[in-house]
Amino acid sequence: MRRPEGSIIVVSAPSGAGKTTLIRRLRASMPELAFSISYTTRARRVGERNGREYFFIKPEEFRRLAQRGAFAEWAQVHADLYGTPLAPLEAARRAGRDILLDIDVQGYARLKRRFPEAAGIFIVPPSRRELERRLKGRHQDRPEAIHRRLEDARREIAQWKNYDYVVMNDDLREAARALRAIVTAIRHRAAARGRQMNHILRNFGG
Ligand code: ADP
Ligand code: 5GP
C-alpha cells in the first residue's frame, strides 16, 4: 500500500502553558485540519461537552478499550488516564487529511514508535511563575492539583529535545502566529506532497 500522506501533528505542553488557547486559534484559522478527540477518565470540567473536548469514560471502560488495542497510545497524565483512539487517526491518514493531536510528552514518545513520521511541537510558558499564575487564573483546578501540575511541568519540560519545534507562549498573538507557521511548514514537507507532485509532473508530461 502507498504510504498515507496526511501528516500527524502533535502539540504538547505542560498544563497551563496555553495549549488549549493556541490550538483553538489554530483550528479556527485552519478548519480543514482534523482533530483527534481523546478518551479520558478525568471528570468533565464546566463548559466541556462529551465528544467535543474528550470522550469521558469510566476507568473500567478505558481499560477494556486499551486491552482491545483501540488506542494508538495511552498514558496516565497527572491523576487520570488519557488515550488517543486509533480508528479516527487511521481514517484521517487514509483520506490524506492532516490530523492534530493534543497529547502529553509520554503519549508523544509512544506515538513516535508507531508513527515515526509524526511531527511534534512543544509549547512552553516563559517561566514557572507565569505558569503558576495562569493555572491559578484559570480557576479550574484545586490547589493540590495545581501543585501537582507544577511539579509535573518540570519533568515534561525536560523532554523538549524530543520535539521538532518549540514555541514559547509569552505573547499570545506571537505564539499563535509561530504555531500557524510551523503547522503550515509541516504540511508542506516534501514527503507529504507526493500526490500533488506526481500530478504536477504529469502535467509537465513527466
Ligand atoms: P493549557 O491548555 O495549556 O492547560 P490554557 O489554554 O487553558 O492552557 O491556558 C491557561 C490559562 O492561561 C488560561 O486562562 C489562558 O487564558 C491563559 N493564557 C494562555 N496563553 C496566555 C498568554 N500568552 N498570556 C497570558 N495568559 C495566557
Ligand atoms: P487536561 O486534563 O488539562 O485536558 O489534559 C491534561 C494533559 O493530558 C494534557 O497535557 C493533554 O495534552 C494530555 N492528553 C490529552 N489527551 C491525551 C491522550 O489521548 N493521550 C495522552 N498521552 N495525553 C493526552
- Confidence grade of residue 2 (pLDDT, cut at 50, 70, 90): low
State if residue 102 touches ligand 2 by the CB under 6 angstroms criterion.
yes
Please tell me the residue having the least CA distance from ligand 1 atom 23.
Answer: 172
Q: How confident is the prediction for the chain on average, in pLDDT?
A: 94
The C-alpha cell of 59 is what? 476507568
How far apart, in whole angstroms, are the C-alpha atoms of residue 138 and residue 132?
Answer: 10
Query: In 3D, which of 92, 82, 12 has the Cα closest to residue 40?
Result: 82
Map out the domains of the chain as residue ranges. Answer: 8-36+98-203
- Confidence grade of residue 3 (pLDDT, cut at 50, 70, 90): low
- Confidence grade of residue 94 (pLDDT, cut at 50, 70, 90): confident
- The ligand that comes nearest to the alpha carbon of residue 176 is 1
Mutate to test the pocket of ligand 1, among 11, 12, 20, 21 (most ligand atoms within 8 A of CB): 21
Res 4: pLDDT: 56
- Confidence grade of residue 78 (pLDDT, cut at 50, 70, 90): confident
Q: What is the pLDDT of residues 33-61, one digit of tens each?
A: 999 999 999 999 889 999 999 999 999 99
Res 179: pLDDT: 98
Q: What is the pLDDT of residues 146-176, one digit of tens each?
A: 999 999 999 999 999 999 999 999 999 999 9
103 CA distance to ligand 2 centroid (A)? Answer: 5
Determine whether domain 8-36+98-203 maps to CATH 3.90.180.10.
no
- Mean pLDDT value across residues 92-99: 92
Res 1: pLDDT: 42
Please tell me the residue having the least CA distance from ligand 2 atom 21.
Answer: 103
Please tell me the residue having the least CA distance from ligand 1 atom 10.
Answer: 16
Res 5: pLDDT: 77
How far apart, in whole angstroms, are the C-alpha atoms of residue 122 and residue 12?
Answer: 5
Res 139: pLDDT: 83
Over its C-alpha atoms, the chain yields an Rg (Å, rounded) of 18
* Residue with grid cell 512543544, as numbered in its chain: 122
The C-alpha cell of 116 is what? 515515526
